[in-house]
Structure 1
C-alpha cells in the first residue's frame, strides 16, 4: 500500500486545477527558524479564481502568501518571502509562534 504526503496531495490538487484550465501558483516553505507552525516542505496552492489548498503557516500568513501568489501568477516571476517577527509583536501580526520562515512562490507551468 502506498501513501502520499500532504505536499504530494497539494501538488496533485494543483495539477488537477491546472488541468481544468486554472492558473495556479505553489508556495513552499523552504526554511524555518525557531518555532514555526509548519515545517519546511509544507505547501499552499492558490488559483487565479481564488481556490486554495494546503497551508504554509497554519493560517497566520496565508492571506499575505495568497496575495503574492496572485502577483506571481500575473507576472510569472517567482518570489522568495521572508516572514519573521519578534516575540513581543508575534500575537499582534498573527505569528503567535514568534519564529521565522521563508516561503518560495512560483507559478505552476
Structure 2
C-alpha cells in the first residue's frame, strides 16, 4: 500500500475499517517521520459489523520512504 501526504493511496492491505485507519496513521507517519507498527483484530462473530468478511489479526508496519 502506497500513501501520499494528502492521503491518496494505491493498493490495499485489508478492507473495511482497517484500510481507513492505516491511511490515517500513514499521513501522521509522513508528517512525523516516526515509523509505527499497527495492530488490528476482530472476532469472526463481529467481523461483519465493522465491514470485514472474516475475523483475524493483522499487523501493518508503516514507514516514510524518501
TM-score in terms of structure 2 length:
0.87
Q: Which residue of 2 aligns with 1:18?
A: none
- Which runs of at least 4 in structure 1 moved beyond 4 Å after TM superposition? none
Q: Which residue of 4, 9, 27 maps to 1:52?
A: 9
From the two aligned structures, give the one with the greater helix fraction. 2
**Does the residue aligned with 1:80 lie in a helix, a strand or coil?**
strand
Q: Which residue of 15, 24, 31 maps to 1:67?
A: 24
Alignment: residue pair count: 65
Q: Which residue of 1 aligns with 2:47?
A: 90
Larger CA Rg, structure 1 vs 2: 1
Question: What do you get for the CA RMSD once the two structures are aligned?
Answer: 1.1
Q: Contact conserved, 2:29 with 2:62, CA < 8 A, in 1?
A: yes
- C-alpha distance in structure 2 between counterparts of 1:69 and 1:92, whole Å: 24
